[in-house]
């Protein structure tokens, strides 16, 4: 069978009229002789509304019931799509994760797909049907509903493409593809025609909202090409693929920035082996992700300052854990909530000298001070004052000829 997986995001199915348009897109692939597997998110705003309801019920809503609650939005959107397809004369049926079934492992709300039972879906495809599968959800060994984390419908689509050996996986969203930077931040942002898994993973991890990072990782591990395109405009989107398929002379592919970082500095910590581990161990145990880290030693080599960043929503919990930590002592604790991380990403920097200098010099020319630096093989991130983000993005976009 020539199978294509089509995933539609929340905005793509946000209204009845949009659902009708989605049905027409699906039929377009049927006319091209594809067997179509549809994966749908909940209608935009529905999951957020369910989350708000859970918080009004309890500040500590039990995780298994939380998953049962927030997974219900997809049931509505899938039924609407299937209903419209049937109305237009195409055999279609909605499938919840437990009906397929899609088997998952891991904790509630952060599960990963381990297996998809193909029998029922394959039989339905062969009969000429169009299955509409609920994204974002599955079922664990205890036959309880699980969810895959926000944006998890991408993971459902990619794993469907893997298990059903699809020729294509197309992610339909409200933007035309992946851009060099957020178009809302910079009007001169350009659509990227083709991008590597590694670059897309860095961009998604560093703040780009187009796709869930774990989904990109799944696609990379399984070598599944992904097309990202708009469900509103019939234009070519962005292809996410392996590096070998990409031929361009761009050193930098894209820029990202964050809006929810906080910087914490511990002043006067004893400079001895294991001190950093003592600081971060309780944070790790409480599932707090540490991003950028800098440790500086004093002249007498007896003290050190440790600076690190966390997400703003984890700040209060982090401060509480640091203050309660009896294994570390420090003279002062400084917090800065008005910071943002700006990153440049591109596989081209591996073979191009001078990229770091150009980035730092560009920011210096604009009077932007760098607070913290972190690097990897294909990205450089700097922490700056939040008020300078737009100026930094604009200058770097121009410097690396992304305009």
Could you state, in order of their start, the residue ranges of all structural domains in the chain?
Answer: 3-174
Question: Is residue 286 predicted with pLDDT exceeding 70?
Answer: yes
pLDDT at 298: 63
Q: pLDDT-derived band of residue 299, with 50, 70 and 90 as boundaries?
A: low
Q: Which residues contact 354 (CB under 8 A, 6 or more apart)?
A: none
Distance CA 42, CA 373 (A): 38
Distance CA 152, CA 138 (A): 10
Q: Which residues contact 38 (CB under 8 A, 6 or more apart)?
A: 5, 6, 7, 8, 26, 78, 81, 130, 131, 132, 133
Distance CA 130, CA 124 (A): 7
Give the mean model confidence (pLDDT) for residues 279-300.
87
Both structure tokens of 243: 């590096």
Give pLDDT tens digits for 141-175. Answer: 999 999 998 889 999 999 999 999 999 999 999 88
Give pLDDT tens digits for 64-115. Answer: 999 999 999 999 999 999 999 999 999 999 999 999 999 999 999 999 999 9
Question: Is residue 242 reached through a cis peptide bond, with omega within 30 degrees of 0 on the bond before it?
Answer: no
Question: Please, what is the Cα angle at 55 between 50 and 61, to 5 degrees?
Answer: 95
Give the mean model confidence (pLDDT) for residues 332-341.
95
pLDDT at 206: 78
Residue 255 near residue 207 (C-beta atoms within 8 A): no
Which of 246, 275, 264 has the alpha carbon at shortest distance from 346? 246
- Give phi and psi for 232, each to the nearest 5: -100, -25
Q: Which CATH architecture has domain 3-174?
A: 3-Layer(aba) Sandwich (3.40)
């Amino acid at each position: 069978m020539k199978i294509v997986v089509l995933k539609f995001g929340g905005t793509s199915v946000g209204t009845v009229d949009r659902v009708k348009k989605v049905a027409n897109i699906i039929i377009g692939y049927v006319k091209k002789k594809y067997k179509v597997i549809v994966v749908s998110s909940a209608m935009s705003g529905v999951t957020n509304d369910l989350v708000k309801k859970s918080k009004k019920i309890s500040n500590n809503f039990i995780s298994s019931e939380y998953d049962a609650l927030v997974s219900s939005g997809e049931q509505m959107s899938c039924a609407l799509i299937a209903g419209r397809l049937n109305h237009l004369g195409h055999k279609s049926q909605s499938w919840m994760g437990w009906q397929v079934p899609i088997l998952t492992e891991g904790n509630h709300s952060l599960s990963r797909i381990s297996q998809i039972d193909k029998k029922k879906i394959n039989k339905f495809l062969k009969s000429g049907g169009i299955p509409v599968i609920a994204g974002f959800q599955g079922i664990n060994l205890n036959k309880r509903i699980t969810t895959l984390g926000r944006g998890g419908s991408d993971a459902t689509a990619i794993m469907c493409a893997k298990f059903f050996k699809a020729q294509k996986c197309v992610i339909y969203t409200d933007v035309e593809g992946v851009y060099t930077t957020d178009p809302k931040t910079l009007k001169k942002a350009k659509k990227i025609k083709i991008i590597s898994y590694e670059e897309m993973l860095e961009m998604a991890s560093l703040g780009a909202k187009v796709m869930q990072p774990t989904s990109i990782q799944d696609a990379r591990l399984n070598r599944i090409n992904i097309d990202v395109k708009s469900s509103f405009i019939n234009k070519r989107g962005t292809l996410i693929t392996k590096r070998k398929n990409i031929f361009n002379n761009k050193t930098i592919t894209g820029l990202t920035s964050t809006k929810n970082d906080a910087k914490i500095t511990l002043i006067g910590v004893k400079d001895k082996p294991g001190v950093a581990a003592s600081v971060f161990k309780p944070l790790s145990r409480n599932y707090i992700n540490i991003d950028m880290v800098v440790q500086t030693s004093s002249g007498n080599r007896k003290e050190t300052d440790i600076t690190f960043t966390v997400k703003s929503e984890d700040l209060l919990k982090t401060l509480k854990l640091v203050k309660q930590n009896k294994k570390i002592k420090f003279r002062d604790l400084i917090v800065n909530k008005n910071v943002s991380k700006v990153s440049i990403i591109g596989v081209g920097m591996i073979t191009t000298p001078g990229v770091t200098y150009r980035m730092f010099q560009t920011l210096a020319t604009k009077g932007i001070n760098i607070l913290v630096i972190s690097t990897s093989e294909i990205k450089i991130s700097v922490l700056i004052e939040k008020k300078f983000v737009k100026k930094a993005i604009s200058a770097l976009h121009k410097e690396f000829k992304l305009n």
